[in-house]
Amino acid sequence: MNVGMTPAEILREENRRNRDRYGITAWFYDLLDAPWEMQYRKWRPKLVGDLYGEVLEAGVGTGRNLKYYPSHVTLTALDFSPAMLRHASRRRRDATCSVRLLQDDACDMTSVDSDRYDWVVATFLCCVLPAGLQEQAIAQFGRVLKPGGKFRLLEMVYSKDPLLRRRQDFFAPFVEKVYGARFDRDTHRHLLNHSGLKVTAQNFIKHDTYLLIEGEKIG
């Protein structure tokens, strides 16, 4: 299928397949996520509840974070899947802040201005992106942030605990097939490689699998 395609074309095709996948997954995404949402909903207020100013949420999905943003935030929430955004539009009713929903790809953000946002937030976005598009998406985070603007990314990574790793290995084929996600995307390393972004903190919010990475735009 990839014969004669350039590396860039292969990546675009992989990303397109991801978008098409979510056209189907969106119908039962919240149902599949329900067991994990029992813990995620405890984290969401801390992930977005202290934000301020102009905020961009990249990969808003079905909009689970929307109701937890402070009322004074002006939020732009984007996703590349129209089907996921339809679910997010219903959850927008529960938000107390101003919410603008955009269909756009986090790797391009063609409809988003440069140097605009005080914060960029993403939960489980980068683990869905193809490995070859990680740096492209992170470059977009840097482009749209104001100088001194901050980012907060929550990702899933492989555990060093043998028991947890075996459990992740068991679920990995399902997670990749349904969500397009992997546990080996190494988002932290890609952030360190971006000269315009500085990682200021990283910590695990559960075990050594849920990694929260925070930082800011420098220069």
- Tens-digit pLDDT profile for residues 159-216: 999 999 999 999 999 999 999 999 999 999 999 999 999 999 999 999 999 999 999 9
* pLDDT single digits (tens) 4-61: 778 677 777 888 888 889 999 999 999 999 999 999 999 999 999 999 999 999 999 9
pLDDT confidence tier of residue 2, bands split at 50, 70 and 90: low
Instruction: Scan for tokens 């890609």, then name that residue.
Output: 190
pTM for the whole structure: 0.93
Instruction: Tally the C-alpha atoms within 13 A of residue 135's C-alpha that lie toward its C-beta.
Output: 9
- Domain 21-217 class, CATH top level: alpha beta
* pLDDT single digits (tens) 179-193: 999 999 999 999 999
pLDDT at 112: 97
Query: How big is the chain by its Cα radius of gyration, in Å?
Result: 17
Question: How far is 37 from 30, CA to CA, in rounded Å?
Answer: 8
pLDDT at 219: 72
* Burial (0-12, 13-18, 19+ Cβ within 10 Å), 100: exposed
Average pLDDT over residues 100-109: 95
Residues ≥6 apart with Cβ < 8 Å to 70:
49, 50, 51, 52, 96, 97
pLDDT at 176: 93
